[in-house]
Chains A and B, each alone.
Chain A
Amino acid sequence: MPEVRPVPGTDLLDPLPLLRTEDTSEAFTQRLLVQVLEPAGRAWWSLFLISTAGTVMYAVAMVWIFVVGIGALGNNIPNAWAFPIINFVWWIGFGHAGTLISAILVLFQQKWRASINRFAETMTLCAVTQAGIYPILHLGRPEYAFWLLPYPTTLSVWPQFRSALTWDAGAVATYLLVSLIFWYVGLIPDLAAARDRVRTSRGRIFYACASLGWRGSARAWEHWRTGYLLLAALATALVISVESIISMDFATSQLPGWHSNIFPPYYVASAMFGGFALLLVILIPVREVYRLTGVITEKHIDLVNRMVLLFSWFVTYGYLQENLMAWLGGDPFEIRTFADLWGGHYAGWWWATVAGTSLIPQLMWSSRLRRSRLASVLVGLAVVVGVWLEQFTHIIPSLSHAFIPSMWRNYRPSPVDFMILFGSISFFGWLYLVLAKIVPLVPASDVKKLHQELSLPPKRAAAPAEGG
């Protein structure tokens, strides 16, 4: 093997650099922690005010639902699972791309994850929080949500673990807690970096406590690496299981269009797809506002767009498979459900889904568009909306066309449905903005390590046997 290692940015086959910066000095560290160290700008404050207003609206809608009951929503038998469950599955899906980027790409030793993993993990936390609210809103008796826990009670009854509802509760709670641990363990060294740079004494006390007194000791790093890798492995196994469990809420039910064993992989793919798209929508504005263009380069945007394209095909395969199975299966009710999508009551929703998730992402075959910020955000938004519509077209048409005519009834959402949808989007934004102000969103230690690896002269002894 030759000892030459391509200098980043000069490889003809791989022209985009992963990092563009001059040094690893104090200034570079400050740049990586910019959004924590600098006071909030006008963009942050205006977004914060908008999302606060939306969150207040969300609270109003929640109180409304608690007082009036589920009837405040458009849910009605047979469409018992409507917006709350659509939104639940939608949000949990966004969480999964965060775990994919940070955990699965760690296991595959992909260097490009370094600059963007914290963005994605923070997205996971905020999104899973949103997802966790919906089943409680949908319970009808939210004050009894704790009945899902197997706690010893004088009623001497227990939750029924043969039911999908308890699986959801367990899976989502586990996912939130494990994501939180994974996020925090990765964060500790960067919180210490913030502790050493922040200028206010209140901030210093906060970051000193949050970083637990991290000293970057070689022993601590050794344990950190092992622990982080193991957590990544666990999170990878978890993310697949959580989305599979959620898909089983549907797949274990006897309804046309739901009772299908393609659901687990199909849902996992759809979740990752939406998550990568949302990542683009968040990443690009933050990158511009905080001038992080040297850390999050066109290469990252390009790679995330490739993932969007890849998962678009997974999802499209799922659509084809589903429709083909309905057609070949010959079950009249199943055929009727899909016919309703192609040209019936839900045709508009269905063709919008196809446009958002299968057609528009095909633009990303063009390398020019993959590197364009505007195109990435617009395609990202189309996909984010598309995967919501996809959930809609999965859930509603099957419910409104079950096996007996008394269960045939079309669905129409109420204004409160839209209040909780946009309310949760606002709450997501609010949480993300607050965390972005407190927590270093660029993993400083990872990026510095990567920078050092990229700029080090080739080692004398070992040949550069690194997979890309």
Chain B
Amino acid sequence: MSSSYVLGAFASEPQTLSALRSLRERGYRELDLHSPFPVEGAADALGLSKSWIRWAALAGALLGGAAGYAVQWWTNAFNWPLDVGDRPLRAWPAFTLLTYEGLILASSFAIFLALLAAWRLPNLHHPVLGAAGFETATASTFWVSVGASSELERDLALEALGALGAAEVQSVGGDTP
């Protein structure tokens, strides 16, 4: 993990994306973009792989559906078989409804928990949040961040971001005050 982050602000999306691309070409790998809304093409420019949230959703759905059916079968047909007018105990048409609800509920919870894990949130003390003027990242400014694990890397990144036309270039975290 990087000990400090170098940040630069950009005003427009195309400018930000070309800055990200050129930083990647130069070999920077710990890149990120902080934007007020999802930016088309940012995933490409950063070389991000597809989100794995979908697998969490699938796992949650399978587990929830199975658990939903199992609970109904075990309680009503196995553990406490209540004969009502000789109607079938293993009444799958009636059990379908709550199986379906269990599937959706578990899948939604799985998505939510997976999102928290993927975001590594909650984290109220990320160094980037302390950057001067970073509140514009939720208004209209695009902040490019470069992870740096040594002073040399940090200075190089500061220089590179400045050369790409970023405003408010600064470094946060690590040994910087």
Q: What is the interface of chain A, defined by CB distance below 8 A to chain B?
A: 24-26, 28-29, 150, 156-162, 166-167, 170-171, 174, 177-178, 181-182, 184-185, 189, 192-193, 195-197, 208-209, 212-227, 230-231, 234-235, 237-238, 241, 245, 248, 444-446, 448-449, 452
A221:B38 contact, CB within 8 angstroms: yes
B21 within 8 A of A: no
Say whether, besides A193-B36, A217-B32, A238-B104, A26 and B140 are in contact (CB < 8 Å).
yes
Say whether, besides A217-B32, A218-B35, A218-B39, A223 and B139 are in contact (CB < 8 Å).
no
Chain A residues near B100: list those with CB within 8 A. 237, 241
A221:B35 contact, CB within 8 angstroms: yes
Say whether, besides A166-B98, A178-B108, A216 and B137 are in contact (CB < 8 Å).
yes
In this complex, how many residues of chain B approach chain A with their Cβ under 8 Å: the count is 62
Measured in the bound complex, the distance between the Cα atoms of B114 and A446 in whole Å is: 22
B51:A26 contact, CB within 8 angstroms: no
Chain A residues near B126: list those with CB within 8 A. 213, 215
Contacts A197-B135, A213-B123 supplied; 18 other A-B pairs, CB < 8 Å:
A26-B136, A159-B75, A161-B76, A162-B91, A177-B108, A181-B108, A196-B135, A213-B122, A215-B126, A218-B35, A218-B38, A218-B42, A218-B46, A223-B114, A230-B53, A230-B107, A241-B97, A248-B97
Say whether, besides A170-B97, A181-B108, A221 and B54 are in contact (CB < 8 Å).
no
Say whether, besides A160-B76, A218-B33, A448 and B114 are in contact (CB < 8 Å).
no
Measured in the bound complex, the distance between the Cα atoms of B97 and A237 in whole Å is: 12
Contact residue among A26, A245, A448 (Cβ-Cβ distance under 8 Å from B97): A245
Chain B residues near A181: list those with CB within 8 A. 108-109, 111-112
B112:A449 contact, CB within 8 angstroms: no
Measured in the bound complex, the distance between the Cα atoms of B111 and A238 in whole Å is: 15
Contact residue among B36, B91, B105, B125 (Cβ-Cβ distance under 8 Å from A216): B36
Measured in the bound complex, the distance between the Cα atoms of B82 and A161 in whole Å is: 11
Q: What's the nearest-Cβ distance from chain A to residue B54, in Å?
A: 6
Measured in the bound complex, the distance between the Cα atoms of B12 and A25 in whole Å is: 12
A213:B129 contact, CB within 8 angstroms: yes
Q: List 28 A-B contacts (CB under 8 A).
A: A160-B82, A170-B101, A171-B98, A174-B102, A178-B105, A184-B112, A185-B112, A189-B138, A193-B36, A208-B124, A209-B122, A212-B123, A213-B122, A213-B125, A215-B137, A216-B34, A216-B36, A216-B137, A218-B42, A220-B118, A225-B38, A226-B51, A227-B51, A231-B111, A234-B104, A237-B104, A444-B36, A452-B37
Measured in the bound complex, the distance between the Cα atoms of B90 and A121 in whole Å is: 37
Measured in the bound complex, the distance between the Cα atoms of B116 and A212 in whole Å is: 9
B95:A161 contact, CB within 8 angstroms: yes
**CB closest chain-A residue, reference B136:** A26
Chain A residues near B124: list those with CB within 8 A. 208-209, 212-213
Say whether, besides A208-B124, A213-B126, A234-B108, A161 and B54 are in contact (CB < 8 Å).
no
A215:B128 contact, CB within 8 angstroms: yes
Chain B residues near A197: list those with CB within 8 A. 135, 138
Measured in the bound complex, the distance between the Cα atoms of B143 and A216 in whole Å is: 9
Measured in the bound complex, the distance between the Cα atoms of B99 and A241 in whole Å is: 11
Count: A-B pairs, CB below 8 Å? 199
Measured in the bound complex, the distance between the Cα atoms of B72 and A62 in whole Å is: 32
**CB closest chain-B residue, reference A167:** B97
Q: Which residues of B (30-72) have their CB < 8 Å from a CB of A? A: 32-39, 42-43, 46, 48, 50-51, 53-54, 57, 71-72
B115 within 8 A of A: yes
**CB closest chain-A residue, reference B61:** A234
B1 within 8 A of A: no
Contact residue among B38, B75, B104, B118 (Cβ-Cβ distance under 8 Å from A174): B104
| A-B pairs with lowest CB-CB distance, top 7 | A196-B135, A158-B75, A449-B37, A212-B122, A226-B51, A193-B138, A218-B33
A26:B139 contact, CB within 8 angstroms: yes
Measured in the bound complex, the distance between the Cα atoms of B111 and A150 in whole Å is: 24
**CB closest chain-B residue, reference A233:** B57
Chain B residues near A217: list those with CB within 8 A. 32-34, 119
Chain A residues near B36: list those with CB within 8 A. 29, 189, 193, 216, 444-445, 448
B26 within 8 A of A: no
B121 within 8 A of A: yes
A24:B108 contact, CB within 8 angstroms: no
Chain A residues near B53: list those with CB within 8 A. 223, 226-227, 230
B42:A221 contact, CB within 8 angstroms: yes
Best-surrounded residue of A218, A223, A237, A445 (most CB of chain B within 10 A): A218
A218:B140 contact, CB within 8 angstroms: no
Q: What's the nearest-Cβ distance from chain B to residue A432, in Å?
A: 23
Measured in the bound complex, the distance between the Cα atoms of B38 and A273 in whole Å is: 32
Measured in the bound complex, the distance between the Cα atoms of B95 and A167 in whole Å is: 9
**CB closest chain-A residue, reference B131:** A215
